[in-house]
Amino acid sequence: MNDPVDVLIIGAGASGAAVAWSLADTKMHILCLDQGGWMNPAEYPSTGRDWEAKFYGEWSSSPNVRGRPEDYPINDDNSPIKVVNYNAVGGSTVMYTAHWPRLHPSDFKVKTLDGVADDWPIDYDTLTPFFEENDRMMGTSGLSGDPLSPLSHPPMPQQPMGLSGAMIGKAMNKLGWHWWPSDTTVATMDYEGRARCINLGHCTPACAQGAKASTDITYWPHAIRAGVELRTHCRVREVTTDEDGMASGVVYYDKDGVEQFQPAHVVIIACNGVGTPRLLLNSVSGKFPNGLANSSGLVGKNLMFHPYAQIYGYVQEPTDANRAPPTCLWSKEWYDTDLSRGFVRGYGVQFVRGAGPVFEAVVSEQKGILPWGADHHRVFRKLNGHRIGFSAICEDLPEEHNRVTLDPMLKDSHGIPAPKIDYTISENSRKMMEHGLARGREVLETMGATDICTNSPIPWGGWHLLGTARMGTDPERSVVNEWGRSHDVKNLFIVDGSIFVTSGGVNPTSTIQALALYIADQMKQRLANLFD
Amino acid sequence: MSVATELTSAQRADLRTIAAMIVPASDEYKVPGADDPVIQADMLATLGRDTAPVAQALDHLAKLAGMPLAELEPARRDAVAQEFRASGGAAAATLVRVVLQCYYRDDRVLRSLGIEARAPFPKGHVLPEGDWSLLDPVRARGGTLRRAT
C-alpha cells in the first residue's frame, strides 16, 4: 500500500494545477494523479507538414475520435453537442483557444437580476484577487479598459489586430456595436520562460512555441519545485470512504495497469464537468449507494455546454487565415438580458480570423460550396484565405434533464464505466442562437462577405463542461458548499467547472481557475478546522 | 467482416480515379490533379486509421459503378460520383477528406496558392499590428457593467 498523503488531487488540468500550486505553500504532502502524461511540444502538430491532417486523427479535440490510451470514451450520441477535451498534464489547457474572458459580475446573480436559475453563493468581487493572481500565473495578454467587460490587468499587450481584426473592427464600428481585443493566454512577449507568440497558426491543438499557456508549462513547474508530487498515467477508478463517511483515499490503476490504493486525508477532484460526476457516480458504497457526495441527487445533473452559434463568410480581401491565433477580438454587445430580444440572458462573441487550406477545403466541400471537378480550383482560390467568422457563445441555463450518467455498456480501457451524456438545447438557447446568427450575418454583410455558412450549434463544440456538481449553501440543492467542500463528505472538495451554478456567456477557464485558487485559499484559512 | 488494413489494387485504381474527379489537374493554375503519383503515394502512406473507412467507401463506389470507375463512360462516371457522395455517408466523407488533406499539403499546390511549403513551426508568420485607433468609437460610447447591487 502507498503511504498516506495529506492532500490528493485528481486531475492535473486547469483547476488541479492551480489548486496544487496554491496549496504547496502549506508544505503538506500533496500528490496529484493524472490519467495522462507529460506532453512533448516537439511532437505538436505545428511542427509537421501534416499539421492540419492531425486534427482529424490523433489530435482531434474529441476523445472518441482521438482514442489515445490516456483518453476515456464518452457516449454522447444523445446530444447535439459532442464533448471535446484533452487528457494529459495540463488537461484541456493543452487544447483550447486561449480565449480568456471572465464571467461578469451579473453572471453570479442571475436569479436576482433575471429570475432564472440560481444565484451563486459567492460573487464576482470575492474572486477578483484570484482572477488577478491567475492572470499573472497563466500569463495573459490583452488591453485593459474594455468598457463592457470586467476590469483586468493583463501583464502583456494584446495580440496584433492583423488583417482580420481590422476588418471586424471597421464593420463593428459601422454598425455601432461593441468590440474589443480579447484577453488571451497567448504570450505576446517573452514571459516567465515562455517565448512570445510567433503566429504558428491555429494554436488550439497545443503550441509548439510554448507561447500559449497550458498548465503543464505554467503552474506545474512551480508546483513541483514547491514539493508537489505529480504521478502520471494513473487513472482513478473511485474515491473510497471510511466507516465515518469520510474520504479515505482512491483506487487507481497505475501506468502498468496495476490496481493501487492511495490513502489520503483530503481528496480534491479536478476532473472537469464530465469526469468529476463520472468519478463520483462510480464511487458507490453501502453508505453512498447513489454515488459519492450525491445526497442531493444532483451529481451529473444540470450539465451546461455553451451552445455555439457560428456564422462565417468570405470577403474579397485576404484574411489572416491560419497565420495567427484563431481568435483575437470579442464583443459583449449582447451579453446582458434584453427581453425585447425574446430570450433571457445573453451571449459573448468571439471573432474568428480564418482557416488553413486543408480545413478550408474539407469543410467547404462538406458544406457544398466547393465543387468537384474543373471549377474546383477557381472556387477554392476564392475561399481560401478569405474566411472570417463570428461565434456567439450562448449562456446555457441549468436544466436537470441535461446530465451525465454512467453508460451501462461502454467502459474505458481499465473497465471503468464510461460517462453518458443526455443533453438538449433549450428553447431559450435556440432563440439566443438565432439572434446571434442574425447579428453575425449583419456583421459579415457589412464586410461584404459572401457564401455565408452556419454551424449552429457547432457539433464538436462541447468544450465547456459545467454545472454537474454545483455549489450552493443548501445541501438539498447543491453538491458542494460555497467554498468547494462536499456537503456530504467533509474532506472531499471539487474545484473544476462542475461546480458552476450558471454558465455565463463566455469561455470559462479563467473563472474555473480563479475558483480553484479561491477554494485553495479558503482551505488554507480553515486548516485548523477544515472538517468542521 | 474483416477490417481492411490496406487497399487492394482495384481499390487503389478507383481511389486514383475518384481523386482526379474531385480535384483534376489544371493548366490554368499549373497544378497537378489529386491523382498525381506523388499525392497518391502520400495518401497510401498516411492512410493509417482511415484505411478501413476509405476501403468501405471504395467498396460502396465499386458497387455503384459495377466495374472499374475509370472504364465507365464520362457521363455515367459523373453520375456514379454524385451518387457516391450523396449516399456514401461518413465513409465517403473520410475518403474525400483524405484526398483533400493530401492534395493541399503538396508543395506544388501550396506554391500555386502562394503558401510557403513548410511546417508552421519554427518560422511562424508575421501579423500586422493594425491601427488601434479603430477602438476610439468604442471608448467614446463607453458603457457600464450590469450588477445586482
Which residues have a Cβ under 8 Å from the Cβ of A122 and sit 6 or more positions away? A108, A471, A482, A518
Distance CA A290, CA A282 (A): 9
User: Are A53 and B101 in contact (CB < 8 Å)?
Assistant: yes
Contact A377 B21 (CB under 8 A): no
**Angle between helices B51-65 and B89-103 in degrees, nearest 10:** 110
How many Cβ atoms from other residues are within 10 Å of residue A483's Cβ?
19
Grid coordinates given for A479: 453538491
Q: In chain B, what residues touch A123 (CB-CB under 8 Å)?
A: 148
How far A198 CA lies from chain B's nearest CA (Å)? 5
Model confidence at B1: pLDDT above 80:
no
User: What are residue A73's phi and psi, to 5 degrees?
Assistant: -75, 155
Residue A392 parent element (H or E): strand A387-394
Chain B residue numbers with beta carbons less than 8 Å from the beta carbon of A172 are 138
Q: Are the CB atoms for A308 and A394 separated by under 8 Å?
A: yes
Query: Which single residue is written with the C-alpha cell 471597421?
Result: A170
Q: Nearest CA of chain A to the CA of B10: how many Å?
A: 22
What pTM, to 2 d.p., does this model score? 0.97
Nearest to B121 among A109, A208, A358 (CB): A208
Q: A203: which chain B residues are within 8 Å (Cβ-Cβ)? A: none
- For residue B125, the chain A residue with the least C-alpha distance is A199
Residues of chain B with C-beta less than 8 angstroms from the C-beta of A147: 138-139, 141-144
Q: Work out the mean pLDDT of chain B and round it to a whole number.
A: 95
In chain B, residues with a C-beta closer than 8 Å to the C-beta of A322 are: 120
pLDDT band at B148 (very low <50, low <70, confident <90, very high): confident
Which amino acid is it at B110? L
What ipTM does the predicted assembly reach? 0.96
Q: What span, in angstroms and rounded, lies between the C-alpha atoms of A467 and A449? A: 37
- pLDDT score for A226: 98
> Nearest CA of chain B to the CA of A382: how many Å?
11
Is the Cβ pair B128, A162 closer than 8 Å?
yes
In three-state form (DSSP H/G/I as H, E/B as E, the rest C), the secondary structure along chain B is CCCCCCCCHHHHHHHHHHHHHHCCCECCCCECCCCCHHHHHHHHHHCHHHHHHHHHHHHHHHHHHCCCHHHCCHHHHHHHHHHHHHHCHHHHHHHHHHHHHHHCCCHHHHHHCCCCCCCCCCCCCCCCCCCHHHHHHHHHHCCCCCCCC
Whether the ω angle into residue A457 lies within 30 degrees of 0, i.e. cis, is: yes
How far is residue B57's CA from residue B65's CA, in Å, rounded to a whole number? 12
- Whether the per-residue pLDDT at B4 is higher than 80: the answer is no
- Residue A495 confidence (pLDDT): 98
Closest in A56, A105, A166 to B97, CB measured: A56
Show the DSSP H helices in A29-108 as ranges. Answer: 63-66
Nearest to B147 among A106, A161, A320 (CB): A106
Quote the distance between the C-alpha of residue A520 and its chain's center: 20
Cβ atoms B109, B31 nearer than 8 A: yes
User: What CA–CA distance (Å, rounded) separates A367 from A285?
Assistant: 50
Contact at CB, A200 and B121, closer than 8 angstroms: yes
Residue A6 phi, psi dihedral angles, 5° rounding: -70, -50
Q: Which of B125, B72, B63, B45 is nearest to A318 (CA)?
A: B125
CB contacts, 8 Å: B135 with chain A: 143, 169, 179-181
Question: Which residues of chain A have a CB within 8 Å of the CB of B128?
Answer: 160-163, 166
Q: Are B23 and B33 in contact (CB under 8 A)?
A: yes
Minimal CA separation from B145 to chain A, in Å: 6
Let me know: does A396 contact A304? Beta carbons within 8 Å.
yes
Residue with cell 459583449: A332
- Which amino acid makes up residue A25? D
How far apart CA A518 and CA A503 sit, in angstroms, is 18
**A46 vs B24, B26, B119: nearest CB:** B119
Minimal-distance CA residue of chain A relative to B93: A366
- CB–CB of B105 and A105 under 8 A? no
- Contact flag B126-A163 (C-beta cutoff 8 Å): no
Chain A closest CA to B48's CA: distance in Å?
A: 9
Enclosing H/E stretch for A250 = strand A247-253
Any idea where the domains of chain B sit in the sequence? 9-117
3-state secondary structure A218-236: CHHHHHHHCCCEEECCCEE
Q: List, for chain A, all residue ranges whose pLDDT scores fall below the cut of 70.
A: none
Using a CB-CB cut-off of 8 Å, the residues of chain A touching B125 are 198-201, 323-324
Closest Cα of chain B to A256: distance in Å? Answer: 25
Distance from CA of B8 to the nearest CA of A (A): 23
B147: nearest CA partner in chain A: A106
- Nearest residue, CB atoms, A165 vs list B101, B125, B130: B130
CA-based radius of gyration for chain A: 22
pLDDT digits (tens, 9 = 90+) for A154-205: 999 999 999 999 999 999 999 999 999 999 999 999 999 999 999 998 789 8
* Residue of A149, A53, A171 lying closest to A103 (CA atoms): A149
Instruction: For strands A417-422 and A403-411, give the pairing.
Output: antiparallel
CB contact under 8 A, A148 and B143: yes
Query: Min CA distance, B9 vs chain A (Å)?
Result: 24
